[in-house]
Amino acid sequence: MSRLFLILALSLTTLAAACTTASVPTANQGGVYKIRNADRVQLRMLDSVNALREAAGRPPVKLDALLNAAAATHSRDMSVQNRPWHFGSDGSSPLDRVARTGYTGTLVGEAISETYETELQTLTAWMEETGTRSVILDQQAQNMGFAWFQEPNGKLWWTLVMAI
């Protein structure tokens, strides 16, 4: 049942994204996704997350600049460390990174990924995992931070942060 829910929600999101093809990441000749129109990636992810949350009966979340900053810092740091994990090169946790930005709310959780896939493919993978799905669909979440870092070779480091 949850797989059907996921397929339906992402189909609707993909359909919506298809209407704005100029902003969708495209593959170059080597098959590596290069992000174009980066200003739209966060909004596409927000719309997709909120579509999934609505389908699950959860309230929508909004993007928060401080959480985006925490996510961006961690995405770049994971690239420097060359490993996807929740701790920064300085030993910081997601709680530490969110607090450093000045965000005064409560962290719900963090989802991370190292991939060559688009943000929508990454969200699909996160929704297939119990832990990251529970972060994305947390009933109390009100704010979201989302960012990435793309290396010259095309590898993407994604970070999504949910908070109250």
Determine the pLDDT at residue 3.
46
Determine the pLDDT at residue 16.
35
Of 131, 130, 134, 124, nearest in space to 158 by CA: 124
Determine the pLDDT at residue 15.
31
Determine the pLDDT at residue 39.
81
* Cα atoms in the Cβ-side hemisphere of radius 13 Å centred on 6: 17
Determine the pLDDT at residue 63.
97
Determine the pLDDT at residue 53.
98
Q: How far is CA 27 from CA 15, 30, 33, 40, 94, in A?
A: 19, 7, 4, 17, 31
Question: Please, are residues 68 and 146 in contact by the beta-carbon 8 Å criterion?
Answer: yes
Domain boundaries, the chain: 38-163
Determine the pLDDT at residue 38.
83
**CATH number for the segment(s) 38-163:** 3.40.33.10
Determine the pLDDT at residue 87.
74
Determine the pLDDT at residue 83.
66
10-residue mean pLDDT series, the chain (164 residues): 43 34 38 82 97 98 98 95 75 94 98 94 97 98 98 95 98
